[in-house]
Amino acid sequence: MILRLSLLVAAAALAAACGPVQSVTVIWEASSAIEGARAAEAQKLAPYEYTSAELYLDKALEEQSYADFEPAIVYGTQAVQMARKAKELAQQSGKTPTAPLTPDEGATIEGGVEKQPAAPTPPPADDPTAPVIVPVPQQ
């Protein structure tokens, strides 16, 4: 009888410790996934998913600070999923994010509308001093 009671108490203590351990693990995993998404420049290429991941992580940390471990695990899991989706979308886009031109870089604003500078004209084909431009294939 005493053995059964001690096993029951040990099982209850172990189950009670699972919430904090799981929440820390999930939050760490979410932080890692967000860093991976950031490395893939997901904040520019998949901004909705990336921002969602960060906000879910913030909420998971908040819930964990209140010792509400179950919601912390749920929000942390959502953060992991959104960060992975953001990274995947950023990698699938295959693009490098480009920032819009500022007035310092050649754009002008006329009548409240931004005007981009005209594309440079290539040098004449018969100019022997003209640089040779070789296109690089996209991967």
The rounded average pLDDT for each run of 10 residues, N- to C-terminus, in the chain (139 residues) is 58 62 94 96 95 97 93 96 96 68 52 58 62 63
* Domain that residue 58 falls in: 28-91
Q: Give this prediction's pTM.
A: 0.58
Closest CA to 27 of 70, 68, 75: 75
Please tell me the total count of domains within the chain.
1
Q: What is the pLDDT at residue 139?
A: 61
Q: Report CA 31 to chain centroid distance, whole Å.
A: 10
Confidence (pLDDT) at 93: 87
- Is there a domain that residue 44 lies in? yes
Q: Is residue 22 included in any domain, yes or no? A: no
In-domain check, residue 135: no
Burial class of 22 by CB neighbour count within 10 A (0 to 12, 13 to 18, 19+): middle
Instruction: Give pLDDT, residue 61.
Output: 96
Q: What is the pLDDT of residue 94?
A: 74
Q: Which residues of 63-97 are buried (b: 16+ CB within 10 A; e: fewer)?
A: bbeeebbeebbbbbbbbbbbbbbbbebbeeeeeee
Inside any domain, residue 73: yes
Q: Evaluate whether residue 15 is within a structural domain.
A: no
pLDDT at residue 37 in the model:
96
- Residue 119 is predicted with a pLDDT of 59
Q: Is residue 109 part of a domain?
A: no
In a domain, 116, yes or no: no
Q: Is residue 124 part of a domain?
A: no
Report which residue type is found at 81: Q
Instruction: Cite the beta strand spans of 34-83 per DSSP E.
Output: none
